[in-house]
């Protein structure tokens, strides 16, 4: 994740925010689906590595967009809300992933 965070600046300069963010989101979704249908631990690990790489691209772009969209006097509040999502989402994912009744695989 950290490696792709460093690459995000170069990608933003060369391809722009819209193309880079849309590509990273699309690839994250595809890789997540591949991980959901993984049939071996190796496939699952490869999918998790891909998810980490795409998340590493999306996180700095999210903060960049917060700075670009919100006026100076509202940036602190916007950064706090964004930061809560970044912190709480992984915690909620661990809970919901461990609960078979929330998981899409539990419905099958």
Give the pLDDT score at 100: 54
Residue 107: pLDDT above 90? no
Instruction: Show the tokens assigned to 78.
Output: 């916007």
Query: What are the sequence ranges of the domains in the chain?
Result: 1-69, 73-108
Give the pLDDT score at 38: 87
Q: Are 86 and 102 in contact (CB under 8 A)?
A: no
Q: What is the dihedral of CA 19, 32, 89, 95, to 10 degrees?
A: 180
Residue-wise pLDDT tens digits, 58-85: 888 888 889 899 999 999 999 999 889 8
Categorise residue 16: left if φ over 0, alpha if ψ from -120 to 50, beta otherwise.
left
Which pTM was predicted? 0.75
pLDDT band per the 50, 70, 90 thresholds, residue 5: confident
Whole-angstrom distance, CA of residue 46 vs CA of residue 35: 8
């Amino acid at each position: 994740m950290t490696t792709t965070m460093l690459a995000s600046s170069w990608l933003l300069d060369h391809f722009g925010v819209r193309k880079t963010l849309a590509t990273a989101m699309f690839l994250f979704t595809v890789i997540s689906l591949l991980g959901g249908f993984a049939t071996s631990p190796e496939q699952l690990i490869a999918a998790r590595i891909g998810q980490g790489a795409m998340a590493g691209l999306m996180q700095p772009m999210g903060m960049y967009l917060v700075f670009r969209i919100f006026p100076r006097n509202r940036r602190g509040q916007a950064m706090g809300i964004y930061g809560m999502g970044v912190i709480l989402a992984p915690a909620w994912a661990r809970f919901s992933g461990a609960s078979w009744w929330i998981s899409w695989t539990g419905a099958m």
